[in-house]
Amino acid sequence: MDTVVTPAHATTHPLDPLAPGEIAAASHIVRAAHDLGAGMRFETIVLHEPADPADRRAFVSTYDIATGDLFEATVSLTHSAVTAWVPRPGAKPRIAPDEFLLAEKLAKQDPHFVAALAKRGITDLSLVCADPWSCGVFGHPDEEGRRLIQCIVWVRNRPLDNLYAHPVEGLTALVDINRGEVLRVDDIGGPPVPKGESNYAELFQKTWRKGLKPIEVVQPEGASFTVDGYGVEWCGWKFRIGFTPREGLVLYDLQIRDGEAMRPIIKRAALAEMVVPYGQPTGVHPRKNAFDCGEYGIGVLANSLTLGCDCLGTIHYFDAAVNRIDGTAQIIPNAICMHEEDAGILWKHTDFRSEMTDVRRNRRLVVSFIATVGNYEYAFYWNLYLDGTIELDIKLTGIINTAGLMADGSVGRGTLVAPGVVGHIHQHVFNVRLDMAVDGPNNTVTEVDTVADEPGPENPWFNALSIVETPLLTEKTARRRTDANAMRFWKIVNRERRTALGQHPAYRLVATSALRTPAHPRSQVGQRAGFVTHDMWVTPTRADERWPAGDYVNQSTPGQGLPAWTEQDRPVADTAITVWHSFGHNHIPRPEDFPVQPAVHCGFILQPYGFFDRNPTLDIPPAKSAHSCCA
């Protein structure tokens, strides 16, 4: 056992993600203590948080495909022991990458599925693609208690052809992935499969646009960051990198230099959930409400990034290690990219009398990863700027989920993107979990509105504007919406400290991508993704409150996560708080999104707001690019 427990790369910090050897060791230790037999699978093997410096621990979620029973184990890697074993009745594990092609294979082995394809003239099964979708909870008695994947179907014209140009409308196979059988084939019929090819790959592109001369990023002295294991320092910033199968990239202990002091801002930041509800009410489409974190895991789907293509400049890559369902470790090389980018002008002023000009250039440190979730890509960029700004920029790209025409030849709730090919309206709703620590552990969120005063003796010229600040003291009062009319934002304030100006240091959350998700109370999203109903939530920080739509989201029961926790209406003033921000992108597909979508953005900004006493970038030296020249 000892040889297994010792990781290949000795860990150096309690917050380091589990090394591949530790992942394998954790599954061995659990199996030795609680062998579930041949049907034993591992949903999650990850660093147990909060980390204990004296005891290296893993959190393990394991289940039995024969019974469907799921257990959570706490494993001491230090002592090779299971220290907690908790059954989670009814919980259904995420859909693992190992199960994607298995679901497709099971569908293709089913005679009803094969017959439904044949009815449509499709006989070459090697060209048939059945994507593994989570299926939600729709109350059909035969689905009760089963762990299901619904296979949504496309067919290639020929190998490597873009399958999403050819939706097989009206046909799905519902696969019981634990029992390894097709529960049901739903065939409501559909239009002929569109045969027109819409390819995007280099392989198919015949002509190339002329005149694009290279733009090269040159960093003659290398990068300005230093890396020690998973610890990073860059131009006054300091933080640690983490990675989990469910969240992907995690940032820990984010702090910034102010004179001689390092001042904390965030204890832990990561994407916590996302859901993509579709707006088409017929056929298979109401089932499409993919929770890409909670039902699949955005980390296990991370790409191995390519130098000079995904990432330009002087790059530092971090590998990621995630568990397979058999309990072994899978290494994703170059999963996290870190590099610097020029970010335009930081500030400038010309004194028009003396004609003295000062200009400084801004730059950002970009820490990123890209996940492929079936047809779609999500690229997550955490950007740190010289002035203390923190930004999450999410790029949405890949291929829209396509469908066929309605029976009457109309497009339904969507847009025609190619002859016979429809992109239905849908939304991408993200929720990020921000365990805040602005200038210390105890913070309070304050809502800031800007309002025009009523005319009167105090406002004789009708120009008066007031800043209305409202501290949000309990969980229920801190369930908030953006308000464009009030130009609303929220400050995360440390009311126990004062700056030299006598102000309480703060960061503000600027909700740049607020979204309205209808979320009818009886819809899947209304029932299972309550986090979408407010743009911001605040909870007291609890290590066991990690997942805003519940611990186990796949076929989950209603009301879990943020809606349930915040019903307690716990105090959230002057204590350790977690801020949850929901945001996203309302996606009415455009023809231009097909056959592959130019990236669209959403995200948010955290900006110092009275955190510093003045502009913290006066010490950024002027620089002049030696490579710039006149064209």
Residue 83 neighbours by CB under 8 Å, 6+ apart: 57, 74, 75, 76
- Pick the piece of the chain touching Co ion (CB under 5 A) from 10-18, 439-447, 554-562, 584-592: 584-592
> What gap in Å lies between CA 536 and CA 302, rounded to an integer?
27
Active-site residue, from 131, 292, 393, 439: 292
Active-site residue, from 252, 376, 381, 507: 376
- Residue nearer to Co ion on the CB measure, 94 or 587: 587
Residue numbers 596-615 binding Co ion by CB under 5 A? none
> What gap in Å lies between CA 311 and CA 339, rounded to an integer?
8
Active site residue 55: no
Active site residue 376: yes
Using rule CB under 5 A, residue 395 touches Co ion: no
Long-range contacts of 371-374 (CB under 8 A, 24+ apart): 371/248, 371/292, 371/298, 371/299, 371/301, 371/302, 371/303, 372/301, 372/303, 372/398, 373/290, 373/292, 373/296, 373/298, 373/301, 374/131, 374/132, 374/133, 374/401
- Min. distance of Cβ 596 from Co ion in angstroms? 12
- Pick the piece of the chain touching Co ion (CB under 5 A) from 27-35, 265-273, 431-439, 585-593: 585-593
- Min. distance of Cβ 374 from Co ion in angstroms? 12
Residue numbers 70-129 binding Co ion by CB under 5 A? none
Cis geometry, peptide bond prior to residue 17 (ω within 30 degrees of 0)? no
- Residue nearer to Co ion on the CB measure, 397 or 459: 397
Number of residues that bind Co ion (CB under 5 A): 1
Nearest to 430 by CA among 600, 300, 584, 294: 584
What are residue 69's DSSP bridge partners? none
- Min. distance of Cβ 213 from Co ion in angstroms? 33
- Residue nearer to Co ion on the CB measure, 424 or 508: 424
- Pick the piece of the chain touching Co ion (CB under 5 A) from 53-61, 112-120, 530-538, 587-595: 587-595
- Residue nearer to Co ion on the CB measure, 324 or 587: 587
- Pairing between β-strand 376-385 and β-strand 577-587 as defined by DSSP bridges: unpaired
- Residue nearer to Co ion on the CB measure, 7 or 374: 374
- Min. distance of Cβ 272 from Co ion in angstroms? 20
- Min. distance of Cβ 30 from Co ion in angstroms? 38
| Residue 589 identity (one-letter amino acid) | P
Task: Decide: helix, strand or coil at residue 107.
Answer: helix
- Residue nearer to Co ion on the CB measure, 71 or 594: 594
Locate 129 and state its tokens. 């693609």
- Pick the piece of the chain touching Co ion (CB under 5 A) from 232-240, 265-273, 498-506, 580-588: 580-588
| Residue 367 identity (one-letter amino acid) | V
Residue 35: Cβ within 10 Å count? 9
Using rule CB under 5 A, residue 587 touches Co ion: yes
Residue 200: Cβ within 10 Å count? 15
Q: Which residue is nearest to Co ion (CB)?
A: 587
Using rule CB under 5 A, residue 288 touches Co ion: no
- Min. distance of Cβ 82 from Co ion in angstroms? 42
- Residue nearer to Co ion on the CB measure, 156 or 587: 587
Nearest to 100 by CA among 286, 375, 287, 332: 375
- Min. distance of Cβ 423 from Co ion in angstroms? 8
| Residue 306 identity (one-letter amino acid) | T
The binding site for Co ion (CB under 5 A) comprises 587
Q: Which residues are catalytic?
A: 292, 376
